[in-house]
């Protein structure tokens, strides 16, 4: 399977203001890495229809194959993600009877358990807002109250692009990804990659000629260095197809032995 260009649009004023830490993206990046995918870009935008739409359009224009849009699916006025995605696709949100029924079922369950105490008319207004979705999308049933959805559209190259729209609460986000996307909608990438990490006490500046030279010789293998002042070491991370990665890693080890400690 060919590598896919994957992008993530994170939506939320609370993230940009620093009030909430974006743990969802870190979790998703790890999940995708385990599925042998690399993410090319993450964008964080506020709760604004035009900026959400611009981010999604940008990914489509740049021929991304998979786009995740996360957060902002709730019932409040500042939850604008669904409208933003629809705008990016030149669509208008419309009532979705299936979504409304699912949301009402969740509301009834939460009211029966004592978690919800709102009046029925208040819950109905919230349900109607969250059930307005772009036409043609496929529902991802809610774990909480807000359903997610996905759709397949054409990117600028004319290829199919999958857009997955997920709620922000981590429990809902993770369960929706694991139950639907991971096992049904986004197959594991069979083009396996591996990562080898090498720790050295040599200063990073002394490593640059070595890393640059090997990187030029093996352009399909990623080589990156990460200094750790507390440990007084540099971590070299080598990533690529297993055979090439292991070969390059062994080559680096030999060169480090020849170079000696800093």
CA angle 7, 76, 49 (to 5 degrees): 40
Q: How confident is the model at residue 222 (pLDDT cuts 50, 70, 90)?
A: very high
Q: What number is the average pLDDT over the span 163-178?
A: 96
pLDDT confidence of residue 55 = 98
pLDDT at 1 over 60: no
Q: What is the pLDDT of residues 232-250, one digit of tens each?
A: 899 999 999 999 999 999 9
pLDDT confidence of residue 191 = 86
Q: What number is the average pLDDT over the span 124-137?
A: 94
d(CA 91, CA 70): 19
pLDDT confidence of residue 24 = 96
Question: Across the chain, what does the average pLDDT equal?
Answer: 92
pLDDT confidence of residue 107 = 87
Q: What number is the average pLDDT over the span 142-161?
A: 95
Sign of the CA dihedral with 215 first, then 221, 227, and 230 last: negative
pTM score of the predicted model = 0.86
pLDDT confidence of residue 117 = 62
User: Could you say which of 3.30.1370.10, 3.40.50.2000, 3.40.50.2300, 3.30.70.1710 is the CATH number of the domain covering 194-259?
Assistant: 3.30.1370.10
d(CA 90, CA 7): 20
Say if residues 219 and 211 touch (Cβ distance below 8 Å). Answer: no
Q: What is the pLDDT of residues 171-209, one digit of tens each?
A: 999 999 999 999 899 999 988 889 999 999 888 888 999
Q: Domain limits of the chain?
A: 6-185, 194-259
Determine the topology of domain 6-185 in CATH: Molybdenum Cofactor Biosythetic Enzyme; Chain A (3.40.980)
State the residue for tokens 């260095």: 225
Q: What number is the average pLDDT over the span 204-229?
A: 92
pLDDT at 116 over 70: no
pLDDT at 2 over 80: no
């Amino acid at each position: 399977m060919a590598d896919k260009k994957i992008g993530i649009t994170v939506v939320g004023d609370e993230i940009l203001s620093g009030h909430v830490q974006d743990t969802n993206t870190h979790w998703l990046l790890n999940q995708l890495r385990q599925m042998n995918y690399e993410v090319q870009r993450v964008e964080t935008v506020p709760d604004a229809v035009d900026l959400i739409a611009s981010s999604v359009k940008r990914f489509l224009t740049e021929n991304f194959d998979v786009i995740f849009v996360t957060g902002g699916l709730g019932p409040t006025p500042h939850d604008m993600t669904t409208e933003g995605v629809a705008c990016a696709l030149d669509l208008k949100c419309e009532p979705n009877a299936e979504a409304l029924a699912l949301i009402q079922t969740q509301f009834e369950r939460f009211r029966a358990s004592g978690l919800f105490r709102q009046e029925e008319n208040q819950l109905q207004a919230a349900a109607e807002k969250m059930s307005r979705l772009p036409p043609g999308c496929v529902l991802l049933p809610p774990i909480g109250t807000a359903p997610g959805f996905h759709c397949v559209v054409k990117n600028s190259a004319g290829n199919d692009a999958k857009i997955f729209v997920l709620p922000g609460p981590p429990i809902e986000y993770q369960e929706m990804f694991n139950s639907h996307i991971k096992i049904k909608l986004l197959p594991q990438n069979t083009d396996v990659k591996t990562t080898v990490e090498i720790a050295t006490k040599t200063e990073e500046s002394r490593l640059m000629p070595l890393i640059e030279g090997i990187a030029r010789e093996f352009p399909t293998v990623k080589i990156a260095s990460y200094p750790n002042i507390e440990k007084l070491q540099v971590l070299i991370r080598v990533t690529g197809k297993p055979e090439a990665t292991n070969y390059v890693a062994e080559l680096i080890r030999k060169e480090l032995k020849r170079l000696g400690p800093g």
